[in-house]
């Protein structure tokens, strides 16, 4: 056990939103905690605010009054950094600026004991770069908590190039002893969560910019079909468009303007015009009291088709067949080497989004990927101007017959959920190949950090080898900017290991 002893004092420097949350976590775990902030009076104000939060925990029976009193007695605001000399861990949560953090750490290094663990809560700066200011960067780690720190379990424990494994392990075990779920990760832009989550926002904005659908429809499809807790538009309105854009921007810049992380022009306009989301009363949505709520597009009721023919293996959409049968619609299954489609009575076809567009085929309607077709309450379908109206009507009627609301969107390749999930899966595979984190830690981080219905690798397994690669490969052909180019890691996962398995069988 290498976690810090509970009798060791912990200091938090910078007692704003994050500093207060982190201090509360260490305090409730049992440590004596020192608070320091450069702004006069702010450390005391933070101690008062934490005390008030402990009172609320007592009122909710989540903390005993005796434990609250003991915790309060262990919490001490400091008036100078020199008062942190006996701390075994100092976490800085000051302004997100490299020069400010470096200067602070340089000063701290001259005050604390040589074995004191130094940590940063930075979300966008490099841990290696910040640690460059120290004469001993071996004891410096990233401890990236999520807001609100007392409630969210995830902590990314980031090792810079110079971080000594002893100190990284101490940080990891301490976070665990505090009741958190730590994940280990390397020092790369966005760490795990802020790197792999980028397509969730970017693809929703891209579909909107391509005139594929309005924000309310895209949000509803992400929630009700994709299984995400919130859609990308409502979520960024909650986070703040400026805050979300600045994370995207910093990851993009840190990757030397890698096209896979290109920020959204539409989001730039929102930020420039002051439409920052809920906090400014208007973002993608209007939050004025008298504003009309934007509703998702939902197709009118259509007749269900008399039967369907299933050609080939529907892959991740195979679950649809029992659902269609349960709705009383006969399904005839036919072996097919090339097609993986449902053929409707009028002769038109229904296919799972695969990165191609409806206009490339005669009379086809695409439908989006669902996290779980049984539980999904909405399905998006897309058709082109060449799709016959009868085929679209039959497709809508089929999904309505199995209990789904249907949103008709534009002919956007990869639709909404399918392209989003494929890109998240790709970035996850790429991150493992680049040594950012393990498969298990990435799945944990994405479930706990951004509440995804499942981790990218679990999703990847469910979708089947090759599904995400093939979809991105098709998208890349249609938009050859490099944004959708599947990674070598995903290619290896999709095909190289198939051959390996084939050769050993
Ligand atoms: N807010 C979030 O959602 C979030 C999430 C994860 C990580 N972070 C990171 O946590 C850090 C703090 O963010 P925040 O949102 O709590 O900011 P904040 O503005 O709420 O608080 C920052 C505090 O640091 C103090 N400060 C500034 N310079 C200082 C210095 N040199 N010495 C001591 N105190 C100083 C300020 O007076 C202020 O009280 C940043 O690095 C940020 O990137 C923020």
pLDDT-based confidence at residue 359 (cuts at 50, 70, 90): confident
For residue 503, the model assigns a pLDDT of 39
How large is the C-alpha radius of gyration of the chain? Answer: 26
pLDDT tens for 173-184 read 999 999 999 999
pLDDT tens for 191-228 read 999 999 999 999 999 999 999 999 999 999 999 999 99
Residue ID of nearest Cα to ligand 1 atom 38: 16
**Of 159, 194, 250, 264, which one is the catalytic site residue?**
194
CA distance 153 to 151: 6
CA distance 36 to 121: 15
* Burial letters 464-483, b for 16+ CB under 10 A, else e: eebbbbbbbbbbbeebeeeb
For residue 497, the model assigns a pLDDT of 55
Average the pLDDT over each of 70-79, 287-296, 387-396, 490-499 and give the range with the smallest value.
Answer: 490-499
Ligand 1, pocket-test mutation among 11, 12, 15, 16, most atoms within 8 A of CB: 16
Whether 135 sits among the annotated catalytic residues: the reply is no
Residue 39 alpha carbon, nearest atom of ligand 1: 37
Ligand 1 pocket by C-beta < 6 Å: which residues?
13-19, 37-39, 42, 93-96, 100, 104, 121-123, 147
pLDDT-based confidence at residue 43 (cuts at 50, 70, 90): very high
Residue for token pair 């990308």: 232
CA distance 204 to 213: 9
| Segments in 186-264 forming alpha helices (H) | 193-196, 198-209, 215-224, 232-239, 241-254
For residue 474, the model assigns a pLDDT of 97
Whether 123 sits among the annotated catalytic residues: the reply is yes
pLDDT tens for 145-187 read 999 999 999 999 999 999 999 999 999 999 999 999 999 999 9
Whether 156 sits among the annotated catalytic residues: the reply is yes
Q: Calculate what percentage of the chain has a pLDDT beyond 90.
A: 93
Ordered domains of the chain (ranges, CATH): 10-187 (3.40.50.720), 192-292+417-452+468-505 (1.10.1040.50), 308-409 (3.40.50.720)
Ligand 1, pocket-test mutation among 13, 15, 18, most atoms within 8 A of CB: 18
Whether 194 sits among the annotated catalytic residues: the reply is yes
CA distance 333 to 329: 13
pLDDT-based confidence at residue 385 (cuts at 50, 70, 90): confident
């Amino acid at each position: 056990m290498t976690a810090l002893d509970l009798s060791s004092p912990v200091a938090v420097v910078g007692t704003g939103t994050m500093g207060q949350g982190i201090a509360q976590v260490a305090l409730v775990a049992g440590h004596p905690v020192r608070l320091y902030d450069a702004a006069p009076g702010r450390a005391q104000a933070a101690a008062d605010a934490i005390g008030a939060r402990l009172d609320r925990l007592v009122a909710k029976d989540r903390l005993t009054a005796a434990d609250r009193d003991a915790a309060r007695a262990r919490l001490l605001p400091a008036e100078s950094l020199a008062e942190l000399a006996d701390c075994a861990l100092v976490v800085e949560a000051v302004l997100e600026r490299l020069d400010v953090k470096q200067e602070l750490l340089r000063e701290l290094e001259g005050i604390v004991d040589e074995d004191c663990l130094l940590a940063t809560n930075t979300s966008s700066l490099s841990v290696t770069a910040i640690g460059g200011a120290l004469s001993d960067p071996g004891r410096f780690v990233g401890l990236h908590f999520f807001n609100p720190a007392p409630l969210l379990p995830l902590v990314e424990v980031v090792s810079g190039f110079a971080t000594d494994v002893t100190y990284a392990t101490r940080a990891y075990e301490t976070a665990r002893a505090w009741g958190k779920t730590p994940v280990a990760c390397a020092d790369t832009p966005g760490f795990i969560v802020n790197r792999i989550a980028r397509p969730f926002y970017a693809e929703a904005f891209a579909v909107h910019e391509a005139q594929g659908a309005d924000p309310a429809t895209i949000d509803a499809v992400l929630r009700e079909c994709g299984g995400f807790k919130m859609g990308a538009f409502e979520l960024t309105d909650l986070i703040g468009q400026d805050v979300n854009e600045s994370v995207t921007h910093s990851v993009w810049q840190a990757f030397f303007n890698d096209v896979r992380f290109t920020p959204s022009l539409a989001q730039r306009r929102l930020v420039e015009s002051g439409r920052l989301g809920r906090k400014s009363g208007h973002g993608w949505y209007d939050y004025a009291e008298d504003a009309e709520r934007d509703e998702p597009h939902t197709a009118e009721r259509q007749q269900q088709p008399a039967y369907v023919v299933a050609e080939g293996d529907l892959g991740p959409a195979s679950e649809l067949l029992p659902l269609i049968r349960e709705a009383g619609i006969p399904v005839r299954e036919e072996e097919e080497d090339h097609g993986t489609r449902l053929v409707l009575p009028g002769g038109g076809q229904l296919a799972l989004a695969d990165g191609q567009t409806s206009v490339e085929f005669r009379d086809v309607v695409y439908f989006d990927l669902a996290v779980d077709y049984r539980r999904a309450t909405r399905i998006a379908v897309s058709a082109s101007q060449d799709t016959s109206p009868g085929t679209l009507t039959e497709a809508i009627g089929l999904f309505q017959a199995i209990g789904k609301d249907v949103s008709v969107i534009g002919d956007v390749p990869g639709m909404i959920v399918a392209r989003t999930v494929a890109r998240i899966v790709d970035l996850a595979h790429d991150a493992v190949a680049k040594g950012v984190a393990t498969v298990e830690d990435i799945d944990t981080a994405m479930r706990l950090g951004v509440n995804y219905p499942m981790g990218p690798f679990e999703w990847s397994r469910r979708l089947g080898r090759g599904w995400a690669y093939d979809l991105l490969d098709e998208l890349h052909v249609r938009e050859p900017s490099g944004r959708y180019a599947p990674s070598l890691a995903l290619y290896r996962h999709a095909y190289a290991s198939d051959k390996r398995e084939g050769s050993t069988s």
